[in-house]
Amino acid sequence: MRHRHPGDGELRLDLHGEWIHVSCRWPADLDLDEWITIGTCIPSADYAAALNGLDETDHHRIAGRVGGFVELTQLDEATIRIEVADSQGDHPTRLSLNVPAASFVLAG
C-alpha cells in the first residue's frame, strides 16, 4: 500500500514474508524542509485480521516487532485513520493520517 502526499512524501506498507514493513516520510513543514520519518514492522496476519475486523469494532492496534505500533480506525465507509508509532526510545514519534479505505487491500 502506498499513500502519497500531494507535495512530496509517502506512507508505505510493504509485505515481506510474514511481516509488513511500515515506513513513512511525511512533510511537517515543506517551507522549512522539515520531515517526519518513522517506521515499524508488524505481523501480516495481525494486519489482515485488523482490516477484516474494522467493520465490527471500528479500531485495532497492531504491536510492532520491536516496539512501535500501527492503529487502524474506521472513520466512515470511505476513510480509515492509520496511526503509526516508531520503535525509538521511550517517546516514539507518532503520525496519524486519514487515508481512503480503498487504499487498504488484502492480497490472497
List pLDDT tens digits, range 70-81: 999 999 888 999
pLDDT of residue 89: 62
81-98 mean pLDDT: 81
Residue 11 has pLDDT above 50, yes or no: yes
3-state class percentages of the chain: helix first, strand second, coil last, to nearest 5: 15, 55, 30
Closest CA to 39 of 59, 76, 64: 64
pLDDT of residue 42: 95
Q: How many CB atoms lie within 10 A of CB 90?
A: 5
Residue 34 has pLDDT above 90, yes or no: no
The grid cell for 40 is: 515499524
List pLDDT tens digits, range 50-66: 988 887 667 899 999 88
pLDDT band at 8 (very low <50, low <70, confident <90, very high): confident
Residues paired with residue 58 on neighbouring β-strands, in sequence order: none
Domains and CATH numbers, the chain: 2-102 (2.30.31.40)
